[in-house]
Every structure is written in structure tokens, then in C-alpha cells.
Amino acid sequence: MNFRSDLAVEQINAERLPKGVSKKERGEAFRITEIIIENDDYRHTLGKGKGRYITLESGSLSRFCDTYEDMAQEFADELKPLLPEGEIFVAGLGNRDITPDAIGPHTAEKILATRHLKKELDSEEEAFLTALRPVSSLAGGVLGQTGIETAELITAICREIKPAAVIAVDALACSDISRLGTTIQISDSGISPGSGVSNARKELSLETLGIPVVAVGVPTVVDMHTIVRSLADVDIDEGTPNMMVTPRDVDRLAERAAQLIAFGINLALQPTLSFDDVRGLF
């Protein structure tokens, strides 16, 4: 590949699908493309292993719109089938002090944490709260802040609380400018934090954690070399200095995209709650 992207929809030619790769399209509030990779044959060539990669595309996620509730519910409907029954741990990956990398931490702080309720509440009046699915969330920072690898931290937490699955939320990189801040990707194949900016850390996946890992992300950066190649169709010497480009309104994008994702996660994990119930949490 001569471009950098975390999005499966950009790494696989939809018109000439490789053997063992299929595509489905659907969606109302979003334009949804689901790519299913049946084996790990393309892990080294495409950077994508076996799994489902669901891309939800819309207008800019940095703006509120009339279909916001429909978008949150449709996102929840796409996420729900990927999750097993039982306790869920939501991990907000990234650095809250770097705006394009803050979607994970912003999302984690908006998740309805319920894991502690059954221990703390026991009256009949509180039965509704104790009936909610156990959920915990954490944004643990990055290696440069804590001295602890993200995978080490999440592995230790999972060993202690033993969730049924992990939802890992992170900022992504894309290659098509039109998908910058307009796209959400959901995948059940796990995630390598930092891979989109050539700073890949240890993978978080079923293979490394022993439980399903569902990755959710929004592209907030584009590689400058990729932009030049796509717009000018020219080769760039690999020694040429590079940089990551982000939208002008990335602060608003990070906050509002995180809120939409948190809405969707809360609706998917707690089906007894309505959109208005979830909105009351913010």
C-alpha cells in the first residue's frame, strides 16, 4: 500500500473483492458498508485480519442534525450483534491532551457505569438500576503519560474484573479526505492502538485478551503523503518529511463524535433505556 488508513473500506477494492472477502450495503440514517473477511490471508497484505468491518458514513459528525437520534439508534443496532451477553468493559484509548486523539477518553467518560450497582443497591425501589447490564469504563492514558502500555493496563483490568468482552474506542486515520470526521468504523477483529499514525502498540484482540474485542473508531487525521498521492497522483520520496493533517474544527469533532458513540454504546448495552433516558445522562 502507498497510503495509510485504518478503514477496511479504503484498503479493499469494493469492485474487485479478493477471494474470501464479501461486502454488504444497507443503512438509513447512515450509509453502511459491511466487509466480511473470512480468514487471515490478508492480514499482512491489507493489514486486516479475519472479522467483520462495518463502516457508517454520514455528513460531518462535528455537527448536530435532525437525524441524530436515528443515527445513535442505528449505530447501536450495528454494535449490538457483535457483543456477547454479560459484563462489558469500555476502554477509551488515546490521549485526552491531544485533541485529534481524544475521542476514546471523551467517550469513556460518557458511558453509563453500572458494574457497581448490584453491590451498592439492594432495595426494591432500586430494582430497575440493579437490573441494568454490568458495564465499566476507563480511559487510562497512553504510554508516554503513564509508563504503562495500553495493552498491559487493559489486560490487567480484564484479569481482575473478567468481562465478557471489551469495547475499545479510538481515533483512526483515513486516506480519503471526505471520510475525515464523517465516518465510524466498527470491527470485531480487535485493534492496534496508534497504528494509523505509525505508532502501533500491542494488539488488543481475542487472541491477546482471550475475550472478544470490538473496536470503534472515527478517523480524525490524514497522512500528508497520502493526500498528495491521492490528489496529485505523484510518487513521494520516502525520505520526505511527513505530517498528520486534522480538520480545523477537530475540537468540536472529538467532543460530538464521542457523544454520538457514547449514545450508541449506552443504547446497545442497556436496551431498556430510551434515547431520552440516555440523553439525560449528559
Per-residue confidence band for 127, with pLDDT thresholds at 50, 70 and 90: low
Query: Which tops the pLDDT comparison, 148 or 131?
Result: 148
Cα-Cα-Cα-Cα dihedral sign, residues 243, 184, 182, 49: positive
Evaluate whether 106 touches 92 at the Cβ level (below 8 Å).
Answer: yes
pLDDT digits (tens, 9 = 90+) for 76-124: 999 999 999 999 999 999 999 999 999 999 999 999 999 988 777 665 5
Evaluate whether 111 touches 265 at the Cβ level (below 8 Å).
Answer: yes
| Cα–Cα distance, 108 to 262 (Å, whole number) | 7
- Residue 223 carries which DSSP code? E
Q: What are 138's strand-pairing partners?
A: 91
Can you list the positions of beta strands (E) in 141-228? Answer: 165-174, 183-187, 213-223
**pLDDT given at position 48:** 84
Three-state DSSP state, 230: helix
Q: What are 22's strand-pairing partners?
A: 36
Per DSSP bridges, beta strands 213-223 and 165-174 are: parallel
| Cα–Cα distance, 255 to 155 (Å, whole number) | 27
**pLDDT given at position 145:** 87
Per-residue confidence band for 1, with pLDDT thresholds at 50, 70 and 90: very low
pLDDT digits (tens, 9 = 90+) for 200-213: 568 899 999 999 99
| Cα–Cα distance, 160 to 177 (Å, whole number) | 41
Amino acid identity, residue 243? M
Average pLDDT, stretch 118-132? 66
Amino acid identity, residue 60? S
The mean predicted confidence, pLDDT, of the chain is 89
Single pTM value for the model? 0.91
Per-residue confidence band for 143, with pLDDT thresholds at 50, 70 and 90: confident
Give CATH superfamily name and number for 8-275: HybD-like (3.40.50.1450)
Closest to 215 measured CA to CA, from 165, 156, 158, 174: 165
| Cα–Cα distance, 69 to 23 (Å, whole number) | 26
Residue whose entry in the numeric block shows the C-alpha cell 434515547? 275
